[in-house]
Amino acid sequence: MGKTLMKGNEAIARAAILSGIDAYFGYPITPQNEIPEYLSKLMFEAGKVFVQAESEVAAINMVYGAAAAGFRTMTSSSSPGIALKQEGITYLCGAELPAVVVSVMRGGPGLGSITPSQGDYNQATRGGGNGDYHVIVFAPETIQETIDIMKEAFDIADYYRNPVMILVDGMIGQMMETVDLTKPVKKRFLPEKDWAANGTSRHSKRNVVNSLYIESDILEAHNLALKKKYDKVVINDTRYELINMEDPDYVIVAFGTMSRICRSAIEMLAEKKIRVGIIRPISLWPFPNVAFENLDAPHLKGILDVEMNLGQMLTDVLVANNGKYPVGFFGRAGGVVPEPEEVVDAILHFKNRVVK
């Protein structure tokens, strides 16, 4: 098929179809409305299920139902809409059900604005659901990367029997880029879903899918089994990109759209003979601690966390760094997208930015 010019939200929809999605359930909210709009047409043409549900709560519970029956399913929403899905997401984790949740961030808190933002880092990585659980969160930087991760996300969800979140901002959703939908991605061996509650015609026993464990010791055993699975995700599916990391003076940590802007900023800084590398987390959970542990940078003066929020990833950066280097922060909030010059300036005046 080759290269095509495509909007991010359309790419997400098309990549879902290419991933063999069986059912989509959602409820409208700007700036992700093109995803359900495209899917309402594409799913119909593909003979699959598309439901615009009564509410976000209804949609995520339909995802739960379809996933429990063994189907590939997804939902998508934006900031307050994702907030409403937190109960459903923790249920999916507790019941070990695969599903893909696309979150297109807008300004917050509350209704906030409809402009692009990274203000839902905490929401994505710490949830708001209850209990010890993790959602696997990927934050792509380009539309091509969004497509590639989408295509892999359903497999990863099935592989671990855990929800996977694709976290982008409105900018990625709305911009157009030339993409190749056919680019091959890593394939995994996926066994039959013999746990699915899809009738007894395929299994001799009646499968039950639930997240309720009345006995504390049985629930603890379940929690420890989940933890073991999460440890496996940390080892196998932590993802990040190292950019310009040969002997840097400074290291920027940035994800998604923000890292694109930082790429421009470090070129500007290179002209000023300041070498700045970027650690770009692709998986936000698991966070790439390993990239910080492996840091071999004799001239490193500090690490600058750059975000389109007021410092939500800072906690993870500080934990990963664990006191080794000075850590600073620069960010803009409320849906304001920083200019590369502002990032340059933050590096030039790093001392004013130091947090710890």
Q: Which of residues 279-338 bind its own copies (CB under 8 A)?
A: 309-310, 312, 315-316, 318-319, 321-324, 332-336
**Amino acid letter, residue 286:** P
Closer by beta carbon to its own copies, 198 or else 244? 198
The residue whose two tokens read 């420890």 is 224
Closer by beta carbon to its own copies, 12 or else 82? 82
* 162 Ramachandran zone, left/alpha/beta (phi>0; psi -120 to 50): beta
Q: Select the residue interacting with its own copies from 107, 173, 256, 288 (CB under 8 A).
A: 107
Residues of this chain, 195-224, that bind its own copies according to CB under 8 A: 199, 210-224
Closer by beta carbon to its own copies, 16 or else 226? 226
Closer by beta carbon to its own copies, 176 or else 224? 224
Count the residues of the shown chain that bind its own copies, applying the rule CB under 8 A: 87
Q: Select the residue interacting with its own copies from 20, 111, 182, 247 (CB under 8 A).
A: 111
Sheet containing strand 23-26, strands side by side: 49-52, 23-26, 73-77, 99-105, 163-169, 136-138, 283-285
Separation of alpha carbons 125 and 55, rounded Å: 23
Q: How far is the CB of 292 from its own copies (least distance, A)?
A: 11
* Tokens (6 digits) for 182: 């056919």
Q: How far is the CB of 25 from its own copies (least distance, A)?
A: 9
How many CA within 13 A on the CB side of residue 51? 18
Q: How far is the CB of 219 from its own copies (least distance, A)?
A: 3
- Helix, strand or coil, per DSSP, at residue 2: coil
Site string for its own copies, 239-278 (x = CB under 8 A): ----------------------------------------
User: How distant, in Å, are the alpha carbons of 29, 91, 310 from that of 129?
Assistant: 21, 8, 22
Separation of alpha carbons 356 and 353, rounded Å: 9
Separation of alpha carbons 274 and 290, rounded Å: 25
Can residue 234 be called a binding residue for its own copies (CB under 8 A)? no
Closer by beta carbon to its own copies, 129 or else 302? 129
Can residue 142 be called a binding residue for its own copies (CB under 8 A)? no
Q: How far is the CB of 307 from its own copies (least distance, A)?
A: 10
Could you give the angle at the alpha carbon of 228 between the alpha carbons of 225 and 229, nearest 5°? 90
Can residue 128 be called a binding residue for its own copies (CB under 8 A)? yes
- For the chain, the first-to-last Cα distance in angstroms comes to 50
Residues of this chain, 34-93, that bind its own copies according to CB under 8 A: 41, 47, 49, 51-55, 57-58, 61-62, 65, 79-84, 86-87, 90-93
**Amino acid letter, residue 253:** V
Q: What pairs with residue 110 in β-bridges?
A: none
- Tell me the Cα Rg of the chain: 21
Closer by beta carbon to its own copies, 159 or else 285? 285
Q: How far is the CB of 260 from its own copies (least distance, A)?
A: 18
Closer by beta carbon to its own copies, 110 or else 191? 110
Stretch that binds its own copies, among 129-137, 147-155, 237-245, 247-255 (CB under 8 A): 129-137
* Tokens (6 digits) for 220: 């603890």
Closer by beta carbon to its own copies, 123 or else 144? 123
Closer by beta carbon to its own copies, 2 or else 110? 110
The residue whose two tokens read 């800084």 is 269
Give yes or no for a contact between 42 and 17, defined as CB atoms under 8 angstroms apart.
yes
* Tokens (6 digits) for 86: 């937190």
